[in-house]
Each structure stands twice: as structure tokens, then as C-alpha cells.
Structure 1
Amino acid sequence: MADIKHDFDLLEMPVEGVAAYWLSLKKLVGNKKNFKPIHEEAQHTSEEYIRYLLEIGFGNFSEETIRKMAQVKTQTMLSSMERRFDCMRVAVLDVATVENPHRSVAKLYADFPQAPLPGDKAIRFAQELLRLMPDKYKGRERFFDVGYKVPDDKLIVALLFYIFYARHEGKDACQALLPLISSVYFRDALSMVIDGFDVPFVRKWLKKHKEALLKDMQFKCAMSTELCIGIASRMDYEDLHSIARAYLHSNGGTQSV
């Protein structure tokens, strides 16, 4: 049986890895008419977009409908990711400038049509996390995580905590918490602030890197859609491989799959 990686993060997995995943699925099902292994894979895959494709791609939808549905799903995901990246950007810059957390709340909520939770409650929860420092947070590490998959209300509280903590203890104090952060985007930017990079540089990096991450994610979603449709239409493995190679080459990829 082909080696399938069920749990992965589409954002952080390189495009070569995403292509290899779909090619492994093709080896698993071959040219069989029965897609039961695909339906089982959907039940065990935690990656949201991949699971969605597995659910819609092997039923009765036409290729055109699958592409339209996948495009809507991509746009929805990218919009949510961009909002969370923007919140991380606000928090990193407010850590760097030692901003008043009460002002930070207003900035963070500017990206939301409705507040994820009342501002005063978010402040109170963040202050409760602050009281767990420096040695009472063991066993509660998840509350200090910042990631694009973290629910909006918990993300806001975690970001406010870092703003509070840096204001009370200094930016360098955040160094010990870096391993608790799942978002490479937030962790790298916060590391720059801790290392003393100037604010204009960090601001520019946050903007450019967010654009690069979202563009890469959109590309991997598009490739996944086409490879999914190829498997569903029982395309030969070599032809599916050619589609994957075309995406790798157009994305500047150099590794083989």
C-alpha cells in the first residue's frame, strides 16, 4: 500500500510534498472504479482543504462544479488566513512599539465584521494568562499558542497576552515562549523584534511574507484541485505525474516527485 501522510499542514508543506501526497493516493487506488480508500482517507485527514476535496471530488459532481466549489473554498480559507495574519502583524508591531493593549484591541478588531468576543473580556483573559507567568503555565501551553488555525477568540486573547507580557517584562522575555508558537510567520517576526530589528524592517517583512504565503497557498490549492480531478477521472499515473511536474516547474520547484 502507498505511504499516505494523513496529518499535514498545507500552508507549511512544500509544493513537492503536496504533489507527492496526491501521487501516493493515485498509487493507492490505481484505475479502480471503487474509491472506498479515498473516502477512508477523507475521514483520517485533518488538513481542511484536502479533506474537502476528497469529500467532493469522488462523488457525482461534474469537473466544472468541483472546480467552482474548490475555488469558493480556497477564497474562504485565504480570507480567513489573511485576517489572522493581519492580527499577528498588529500584535508583533505592538510588541515592538510597547503599545497600550487597550489600543491594540481596537486595531485587532478592525479586521472583523463582528468582534470574536467583547474587548473587555479579551483583556481580562489575557491578563489571567499574564498571571500564570513565569512558572505557572505548565500544562496550559495551548493557551499561549498563536497559529492561523487557532479559533479567532483564542487567537485574540493569545496575541493580547504577548503584548501585555512584552510591556510588563520586556520584549526579551518572550524568547522563552517561542517554542509554544505554532505559526512560523508569527514566531519569526517576534524573533526579529526580540533580536532588535527596527520596526520599519519588520513591518515590511510582515507584509511581503504574508503575500508570499497566501500566494503559495493559493497555488497549492489549485494544483491539489487538478490532481484530485485527475484521480477521480482515472487518469493514468504518468499523465497525472506530468500535471504535477507542470505545477512544480511553474512554481520554480526543482525537486522531483
Structure 2
Amino acid sequence: MSQTAAQNIRDFDLLEMPMEGVAAYWLSLKKLVGNRRNFKGVDQEAEFTSEPFVRHLLEITFSGDMGEDRVRRCAAARGDLLRGELNRRLDLMRVAVLDVAGGENPLRTMARIAALYPVPPITTEKALGYAQELLRQAGEKPPAERFFDVSHRLQDDRLVVALLFYVLLSRHHGRMACRPFLEHLGSRFFADGMALVADGFDAPFVRKWLKKHKQVLLDDVRDKMSMSVELALGIKARLSYDDVFRIARSYMR
């Protein structure tokens, strides 16, 4: 793939990209490959994408001699692992949103967060210390500052600190103090949940919304992973572009 094409998919993300966008990625790959038997150019694609499932799928499909069944098993195992990680990060965000809604003590928030890990990625003392430092800086730095960001792609320790910051911010300055930060957040799930809280929706409604929307997001990612496996295998089998497109269309409404 050309450097320009690679640059366009550096931020490829299965959670954020719509099904049509994921299909377009694989169809563009098919156009570049054509019916060639040599996939040398395709396996180099893995180094240009930060999307972990797609990178893994490119590696196991186009590098080496894995058969179709083994590719499916490896892709399924990787998909389960990544969806599990995503589920936990969305749960972390859900804890923070609900504790903002309830004006919860950040120590109790951290206890709930820690319960989601076999071993927490950061100690309570460090997490609260960093979050309090962010609170001190909130009046000095712009809301778009990356340290205030919340995203499922953050390292776990950074995500925990950022979430505690919003619990502290709302506890000290009220829910509306979070408003200026929401449009700059990388996670729409967290931003939309926080917006519901800031708009005055009651905690039971927000809890139900977060639970339902989280499941919708996880199901959507599962379907994009499933489609990606079928399209990658179709490309490897040197199906025609029209047949690869028919596979993609099977997954789209």
C-alpha cells in the first residue's frame, strides 16, 4: 500500500468507524491486490495501522501459510480478548459517569474501578494524586489539553486518572463544570453519558442508557470483526472484487 493510503488509516478504529468505512478499507485493499498471488505488499500494511484487531488479522491471514480454519480460530481468540478489554474500559467510564451523577466520594470511585482488575494498573494514592493535580490545572489549561481526554485507546493507568479527574471536578465545582471538556473527549460513550448527567437526567435513566448503549457498541464491534475476517479471507482466496463487495454488503443494512 502506498504511503498516502497508509497515512489515511493510521487512526483506523473499529469502535469509531462505521460498518461502511470498515468495508471500504478492505475493498480498497482488494483493489490494490487485484488477483496477484504474492501478498508481500499486504502484509506490510500491518505496520501502518494502529487498529489492533485489523493488524492481527493482516498478520495471520497474509503472512505465512495458515489455513482458513486456523485464521478463523486465531481471529476469534484475538477478537474475544480485545472485546473483553473494550468492555472493561467502557465499564470504567460507566462507573465514573454514575459517580458524577451521584456526587460520589472519589475514594469509593477508585474502589469500584479497582474491582474491575485482577491487579489495578495504578495505586489509589497515585491515581488520586495525579487526578488532583489535573484538577489544579483545569483552570489554567484549555479543555482540549490531552491530559483531560478520555478514550478507550488510552493506557489503563491514564484512563483511570482522567476518569477520577471528572469525578473530582464535578464534586468540587458541580456537574456543569465538566461541560467545556466534553466536546474534546475521544470517547463519545463517555461524553454522551456525561452530557446526560449535566443536562439533569436522573441516575436510574443514565444507568440504563449506559448499559444498553455499551452492549450496542460491543455488538457493533463484534460484527465489524466478523466482516473483516470474511473479507480478509475472500481477498486471500483471490475472489473477484464484486464477490468481495457482496460479502461486505451481507453485513450492511
TM-score past 0.5 threshold:
yes
- Give the structure-2-normalised TM-score: 0.94
Give, in whole Å, the separation in 2 of the partners of 1:187 and 1:209: 13
Partner of 1:230: 234
Q: Give the counterpart of 1:19 among 9, 23, 30.
A: 23
Counterpart contact for 2:143–2:184, Cα < 8 Å: no
Over aligned residue pairs, what C-alpha RMSD do you find? 1.6
Summarize deviations over 1:23-72 as a string: whole Å, max 9, x none: 11001010011212212322211211111111111121111111000001
The range that moved more, 230-239 or 92-101, is 230-239
- Give the structure-1-normalised TM-score: 0.93
Whether 1:217 and 2:221 are equivalent positions in the alignment is yes
Give, in whole Å, the separation in 2 of the partners of 1:186 and 1:163: 13
Give, in whole Å, the separation in 2 of the partners of 1:33 and 1:69: 23
Partner of 1:125: 130
5+ residue gaps, structure 2, are none
- Aligned-pair CA distance for 1:202: 0.6
- Aligned-pair CA distance for 1:84: 0.6
Counterpart contact for 1:90–1:108, Cα < 8 Å: yes
Matches within 5 A, 1:30-179: 30-59=34-63, 60-135=65-140, 137-138=141-142, 141-179=145-183
Residue 80 of structure 1 aligns to a residue whose secondary structure is helix
Q: Give the residue type in structure 1 aligned to 2:151.
A: G
Give, in whole Å, the separation in 1 of the partners of 2:76 and 2:177: 42
Give, in whole Å, the separation in 2 of the partners of 1:174 and 1:140: 12
Whether 1:239 and 2:243 are equivalent positions in the alignment is yes
- Aligned-pair CA distance for 1:185: 0.1
Q: Once the two structures are aligned, what percentage of the paired residues are identical? A: 51
Q: Give the residue type in structure 1 aligned to 2:120.
A: A
Counterpart contact for 1:6–1:41, Cα < 8 Å: no
- Aligned-pair CA distance for 1:222: 0.6
The range that moved more, 68-77 or 36-45, is 36-45
Q: Give the residue type in structure 2 aligned to 1:22.
A: W
5+ residue gaps, structure 1, are none
